[in-house]
A and B are shown apart, each in its own frame.
Chain A
Amino acid sequence: MNRVIKLKIVLDKTKLSNLLILVAIVGILFFISMIAIAAGMGIDIGVILSMFVEGTFGSAFGILSVLRVTTGLVVVSLGLAVAFRVGVLNVGGDGQMLWGALATMAVALYLDLPAPLMVVLIFVLSFLAGGGWGLIAGFLKAKWGVHELVSTLMLNFVAIATMIEISSGPWQDPVVLIAMTKMIPESIRFPFISYPLNSVFIIALALIPVVYVLMNKTVVGYKIKVVGSNINAAENAGMNNKKIIMLCMFISGGICALSGSLLVLGQYFRAEANMTGKFGFYGIVAAVLGKCRPELMLVTSFILAFFITGTNSLRVLGVSGGFVDVIMGILFIVGILPELLSRLRRR
């Protein structure tokens, strides 16, 4: 009854050199569009480029900013990859992140325990909150075949509405007049390695081997792989597909929520509705380009973070933030170029 749309992620041996070619092509396209922008806005191209380099690799601050963006992005893409592996298109990363942030704020504002205990509790609760949010979509899909693309997207809006209500209601910071929650206590803020890079970066890195082991060395990971590659074969082999799909959405939502709580603990120290910065969508790009392999997703997240940070640093000049989306679209389409070339060669 449930027709699962399979997101075919080719688990081939993608080499790093392919990724580097990809970066080069995107770089060229990026350069061309930069020239177009400069011409359109009447700004000297040299100024734009130097700003871009300054904002990314040209300065210590730039490099650290890129790593800071990587932190959130890599965790989201790890979460989404778990769902993509089983063929479920989780596009609700933003909503799940917001639930992670809400759980974090709840613990931070209402409990007063020793800091290490608080942090552990925050991670557990935000995993459960985001996982539960993902599980709604997973349950609807497994039980009645409701398309996850619709359910996860629509649940995003519900999560955003919840966050707006809470951050402008009971938890609002009395100092600011916009919808933002109060700050979390000093004791549970993670220290900065060197501003703006926070030590939560290390937690993000530590999650990569965890997800790798989960996907490649455990029974659950094996089942995920089988269900993802051929759902009928899995059913014939006696696997409970519905259970696997629900479990995947739970884990996926949980990891995405951890990203939200890392953003609260290490970057904003509070929560608001647009804190996710569309990471739930950019994470899709990182996961698909990285072929849903944790080690590759670190590289793709880093590349994406480079473009996001660079474009954001151009905002001073009046370059639109919407430009980040253009880069993402180009990356996505160019990212499948190796496959395209091999198809052409076979013709």
Chain B
Amino acid sequence: MIDVMIISILEFSPILIIAGMGQLLSQKSGVYNLGIEGIMTSGAVFAVLAFFLGLGSWESLLFGTFIGLIFGALLFILSEKFKLDQIVIGFGIWFLSLGVANALFATVLSGEGLTLARFEPLIFSLNPMVFFAFALVAIFIYIYSKTNFGLSVIAVGEDPKVADTSGINVERIRGISVIVGSGLIGLAGAYFAVHVLQGFTYVMLSGYGWVAFAIVLFARWRASYVLFGSLFFTAITTIVTRLNILGITLLPLTFMGYLPHIAVLVGLTLTMIFGKKSGMPAALGTPYKKEEK
């Protein structure tokens, strides 16, 4: 019973971990990715589409990632090249990607009755993506503390002007961070569709992208905390589902379904009250304008 639950928590956790990491990468360099919910949905739908076209599970994940990269590039070009408001652009991409996903799903895929192949378990009946997600966190911690690139990202996120005068190419650092981050978000959506849900439904993502967004704030912009936060909220979801199956309901059923969302809000509030140090990148949300010197 307990081991089944732990496995199920670990199998679900890559969704929030990978999406959270994508968002973290973007925000560390100073750019909000408010398209997260829509990009995840697009990633999911395109993964299903790839499967529909006869590709395997891995290729489907790549397809989802690719869509994430495209939306990331759009976000980067509009917000950093043209210095438009990140939040407005983010909302625009949110609607656009959500709409593309839903329209594509309804026109091409609905009623196809697809059954997607899950990934084969690697060890401990866990699939490779779980290990990938954990490795990703380790890589991120390494990048941010040890490598030149990671320090440049932090410098750009804190103060692009200083970073620029010390010879860092601000636009390039932000470009890589935003586009790769968005790709990871697409990957998270694709994993959700391919492995966890084995398909796509309109309600599936109901706010999961935003939960990942909240986890980054909750984690005070630290990679290791994103991991813990994701595991914590995945655990809540899994336990709630398990309790529902066993017929134990603490709250009315509809509220149980939204418990992770409520937990995120409560968790974020508690961190804001009791958390001491905020790691928020100081330049978050502001495009860097070179000519304003």
Interface residues, chain A, with chain B CB atoms under 8 Å away: 3, 5-8, 37, 40-41, 89, 140, 144-147, 149-151, 153-155, 157-158, 160-161, 164-165, 281, 284-285, 288, 318-330, 332-333, 336, 339-340, 343-344
Contacts and interface: CB of A to CB of B under 8 A. Distances in A.
B124 interface: no
Given A154-B264, A340-B78, 10 more contacts: A140-B269, A150-B265, A285-B95, A322-B102, A322-B106, A326-B99, A329-B100, A333-B92, A336-B85, A336-B92
Contacts of B92: 329, 332-333, 336
Given A329-B96, A333-B78, A320 B258 contact: no
B255 A325 contact: no
Given A150-B265, A157-B258, A161-B257, A329 B93 contact: yes
B110 to A, nearest CB: 8
Given A8-B85, A140-B269, A150-B210, A329 B95 contact: yes
Given A158-B261, A158-B262, A329-B99, A146 B272 contact: yes
Given A149-B213, A330-B96, A284 B102 contact: no
B206 interface: yes
A83 to B, nearest CB: 13
B272 to A, nearest CB: 4
B42 to A, nearest CB: 11
A58 to B, nearest CB: 23
A3 B213 CA distance: 17
22 contacts: A5-B87, A7-B87, A7-B88, A41-B107, A149-B34, A150-B217, A150-B264, A150-B268, A151-B268, A154-B214, A154-B265, A160-B254, A160-B258, A165-B254, A320-B102, A320-B107, A325-B95, A325-B99, A326-B100, A329-B100, A343-B82, A343-B83
B108 interface: yes
Contact of B103 (A140, A146, A160, A323): A323
Interface residues of B, number: 48
The 6 closest A-B pairs by CB, nearest first: A322-B102, A329-B96, A325-B99, A320-B106, A326-B99, A332-B92
Interface centre among B78, B213, B269, B280 (most CB of A within 10 A): B269
A191 to B, nearest CB: 35
A147 B94 CA distance: 18
A333 B105 contact: no
Contacts, number: 145
A153 B207 contact: yes
A325 B217 contact: no
B96 A326 contact: yes
Given A281-B95, A327-B99, A144 B265 contact: no
A332 B82 contact: no
Chain B residues touching A, majority SS: helix
Contacts of A164: 254
B207 A146 contact: no
B265 A151 contact: yes
Nearest to A328: B95
Contact of B207 (A157, A319, A321): A157
A164 B268 CA distance: 26
A5 B100 CA distance: 28
Given A144-B269, A332-B91, A332-B95, A154 B107 contact: no
B277 to A, nearest CB: 12
Interface in B71-120: 78, 82-85, 87-89, 91-103, 105-108
B83 A154 contact: no
A150 B102 contact: no
Given A146-B269, A323-B99, A154 B210 contact: yes
A76 to B, nearest CB: 15
A154 B207 contact: yes
Given A165-B254, A322-B101, A329-B93, A336 B264 contact: no
A46 B273 CA distance: 59
B84 A336 contact: yes
